[in-house]
Amino acid sequence: MNQLFALALVIGIFVHDLAQSSARPSDAIDQANHPILWLLLIAALVAVAIFNLLTRRTARQLTALSLRRFDRIWSVYRVIILLLFGAALRHGALRLIRATTGDIILIDELIMLAGPIAMLVAGFASHYTLEKRLYEASLIRRIDSGMPVTALAPRSRFVLMRIRSELGLALGPLLLIMAWLETVNTFIPIDYTWQRIPLAPTVQFIGAAIIFMFSPVIVRYLWNTTPMPEGIIRQRITDLCQTHHVRVRQCLLWITQSDGSIGITNAAVMGLLSRFRYILITDALIQRMPVDQVEAVIAHELGHVKRQHLFWLLMVAIALLIGSEIIAQFAIDTYHANATTVLDSTDTMDGYDNTDSSGNTTSSDTLNAAAFLTLGLWIITFGWVSRRFERQADTFAVQHFALTYRSENNAVGFDGFDNANRITDAAIENMRAALLNVAQLNHTNPRKRSWRHGSIAWRCNYLATLIDKNPEQLPIDRTIARIKIITGFTVIGFLAYELFFTLL
């Protein structure tokens, strides 16, 4: 969810700059709505104080119901941060910053992002009180199960770990891409072409692609990681990669429990190309989960690689941007077609000229509505696709265990499949148990919804539907195939269209 939060912040700045492409910076100080900006600052401080109060109340009354309620409070708090951030952009905060500091590459954007990030960090600091109570409540269970018990880390270390693990993954590469785009715009005129090909957009795309390719290396050093030591876990991972012909550069141990930190029970795979691909497993996952469940988690992550989810998620994001642009342009054209009068040139966004190529003037409300429409459609559709990819990765783990059982039994009638080549409960139990264990160890309600992954309960219910199904003819595989076909046609069609009119 915090990756979506960081993405929304960056997209907000991009949308603001697109809508303000004709801005006159010299008027920015006069056009900024100073009273509203002060009210937004006060509202932000009040929101932080209220969230801190609610967190402390939840920590005092630690029940399953209060934890579920707190999950909703945490989600609402982040939405409030985004709304305040959008309102500040709307009322001239970024233009005021640029008029004061100058439009220095990335500096003005960082100052603008400092507010919402500070609110989120304050939320992390408030979270520590609740996490401390959860840690204390789990001490007896940890001792009984033989897990290591260490002194709890201080609040500052806990907050730093949350920043590195939850914000660093998305915000680090996004800021680099933003800096690159702004650098190109500064030194290459937007209308400059080479062989009738727009140079600035081409250089921007190539640079952003390179940053994206190298982002796993960046994240590796941003997080506290070390090469996975020799042992049964590493051997299982090596065997998994060899069995499914997945190449990775390195398997890394992600340290989340150093100096008594509470720890994260999770795993991840990063990298589109094998040369820059890493498998990350947290120390908490290895220490707290049985080996077979660790193998299930890793099989799920390798499923993302084997089914090329990283590449296709990027393609889906691009296709959705293309579709969103078409829908936004259609909405604006429909607005102009149905308008009874041409808007006066003063009816613009904070005094700026928003006139299209046909001479029509688009009001600020129309631009904002189009921006929110496209952003909303992108978020909803991308989340839906991402959750289907997660479902297919879960399915891949089930297929892995089914194949393992068949190999061990060296016959058709083994635990994973029956004689009719159908999936049985034995083939899905490790994955299902791993999902539930991860939720429990991370103090997460299995019914808690996730934008990109879906809830644990939703995924477990899906796994139950695989019983008696043919593993080679599953509906999820057909669904993903259709998504890839639609995405491919959209991206290729758009590139062919742009290339045709560029060279025409």
Extents of the domains making up the chain: 1-156, 313-503
More reliable by pLDDT, 384 or 425 = 384
Q: From CA 230, how far away is CA 251, in angstroms rounded?
A: 11
Q: From CA 346, how far away is CA 181, in angstroms rounded?
A: 31
**Residue 25's pLDDT band (boundaries 50, 70, 90)?**
very low
Q: Report pLDDT for 411.
A: 46
* Cβ contact 406:416 at 8 Å: yes
Beta bridge partners of 251: 279
What is the per-residue burial (b if ≥16 Cβ within 10 Å, else e) of 312-339?
A: bbebbbebbebbbeeebeeebeebbeee
Least confident of 40-44, 330-334, 397-401, 422-426: 330-334
Q: From CA 86, how far away is CA 75, in angstroms rounded?
A: 17
CB atoms within 10 A of CB 174: 19
Name the 3-class secondary structure at 418.
coil
In this model, does residue 75 exceed pLDDT 70?
yes
Eight-state DSSP code of residue 4: H
Q: From CA 135, how far away is CA 56, in angstroms rounded?
A: 15
- Closest to 160 in 3D by CA, of 222, 82, 76: 222
Average pLDDT over residues 360-373: 61
Q: Report pLDDT for 386.
A: 94
pLDDT tens-digit readout, 403-425: 776 555 554 443 444 444 678 78
> Under 8 Å CB-to-CB from 493, ≥6 apart: which residues?
none
Average pLDDT over residues 314-319: 89
Question: Structure pTM?
Answer: 0.80
Q: From CA 160, how far away is CA 141, in angstroms rounded?
A: 27
Q: Report pLDDT for 344.
A: 47
Cα dihedral 185→190→193→197 (10° resolution): 90
As given in the structure block, the two tokens for residue 390 are 């997660």
Q: Report pLDDT for 316.
A: 92
In this model, does residue 346 exceed pLDDT 70?
no
- Closest to 479 in 3D by CA, of 376, 364, 384: 384
Name the 3-class secondary structure at 390.
helix
More reliable by pLDDT, 26 or 476 = 476
What is the rounded average pLDDT for all residues in the chain? 82
Residue with tokens 């001490």: 139
In this model, does residue 200 exceed pLDDT 90?
no
Q: From CA 310, how far away is CA 177, in angstroms rounded?
A: 18
Name the 3-class secondary structure at 417.
strand
As given in the structure block, the two tokens for residue 144 are 């009984």
Q: From CA 9, how far away is CA 177, in angstroms rounded?
A: 14
